[in-house]
A and B are shown apart, each in its own frame.
Chain A
């Protein structure tokens, strides 16, 4: 007799599946984009929901905007240590990074590097970003099919990241690879085995250690490596902690905006009326950028671990419990957002979304992300009447990185 296995959510009807059987962490829900009706059911009937068994062990799902905000604000009860993803860290391969720390250490390390992506510094980057965007767009084939993810989304975010690290430009695709490897284990097909994953991450560490050594001997520059090597809170990090923080900065600057760039094209294609609005009024771009970031929600969740007992919206959370704040659900919560399933580029209060998180761990690169997207769409509108999506996008089988590996498009110039 076969062993009982957890039912596959994608095969079930979200309206009738017993609440206690719902497991929104299953990869298939994400790769096939079938999660939203399950989240709606949870928001309506069990907004703080306990899943007793999953690939990642038992966990609570927090699905409403307001409840997510409550967890975000209370770092004293809900710790970011040991990790901020649903999957527990591997015991023999820990990657300490400041996003997965609590105050005071979190604050000290974050303060060391956040200046590089603060608005004052971004002013100086705007010209660089614009000229790189222009080059990328001008090199694209017109009238023939290509993968937008590879040629634009990955290329632009990787160039940006290389700039922030002052990383050798010709080697920049290594950053893309390390970002993918950091968030994807063997089950995603990105690597063959866990050993391979670690090996590649050690190559990353080795490469960056060389850069560190070059820069610690020279005057502090305004790149992230130099800032880490000179900062009081970070200069004595051990190698694993250096690797952890590198992974944080690489993934934070790469996997996120990459998917907002792709997701925006998809959303506009699915909503031709909104695309028309954009053509008629390019001034809407900054607002559209916020709406794209909400709509896409490039990181689907953040996880916390309760360090004390707490009653959250009527549910008794125990110290040690794992909570998953599903931003992908909170950003579709009809209690907080008007017509949340619709993509509306001139939406009122578009900035009030969860994609950057809230509280002390709020995304520190938010202004850089918005700037890259704004410049990209300004330059796209100057060149192209339409970026036509041909065929369905290929989605990443992950409940954390909420994005796309392939989007075939054809460009139509003005």
Chain B
């Protein structure tokens, strides 16, 4: 189990325990963290699981693939540390990860 903290737009924090092997998106849904829709169910095809990764974690989380980039790119509120959380696998390395949730999903 690794700890992940989701911070809502209004500052509300949700710290949860996630199993290694799931995704940051699924861990949020499984623990009823609000603010992630995941309309496509984890297929990198809807961009409704957008998160902003805490900048200190970006080196460990890494950058988006081309497919993810093409979806993120259409979001007018996309920022430098934007990622689709369905494309971030939970690994031991990410224990303590912090991600911020956007005000709106698209």
Contact = CB atoms under 8 A, between A and B. Distances in A.
A104 B77 CA distance: 19
Interface string A48-83: 000000000000000000000100110000000000
Contact of B43 (A73, A107, A360): A73
B71 A360 contact: yes
A352 B45 contact: no
Given A73-B45, A110-B74, A356-B46, 8 more contacts: A69-B40, A73-B43, A111-B76, A120-B104, A351-B37, A358-B40, A359-B45, A362-B45
Interface of B: 37-41, 43-48, 67, 70-71, 73-74, 76-77, 103-106
Nearest to B44: A73
Interface residues of A, number: 21
A111 B72 CA distance: 12
Mostly helix, strand, loop or mixed at chain B's interface? loop
B104 A118 contact: yes
A73 B104 contact: no
Contact of A114 (B39, B48, B76, B103): B76
Contact of B70 (A69, A356, A360): A360
Q: Which 7 A-B pairs have the closest CB atoms?
A: A119-B104, A358-B45, A351-B39, A359-B45, A352-B41, A358-B40, A115-B76
Mostly helix, strand, loop or mixed at chain A's interface? helix
Contacts of B74: 107, 110-111, 114, 360
A118 B43 contact: no
Contacts of A114: 74, 76
A89 interface: no
B105 A119 contact: yes
A351 B103 CA distance: 19
A37 interface: no
A118 B105 CA distance: 9
Interface string A165-179: 000000000000000
A358 B70 contact: no
Contacts of B43: 69, 73, 358
A103 interface: yes
A367 B48 CA distance: 11
Contact of B46 (A118, A119, A349, A362): A362
B77 A120 contact: yes
Contact of A119 (B41, B70, B106): B106
Interface string A359-374: 1101000010000000
A103 B69 CA distance: 13
A119 B103 CA distance: 9
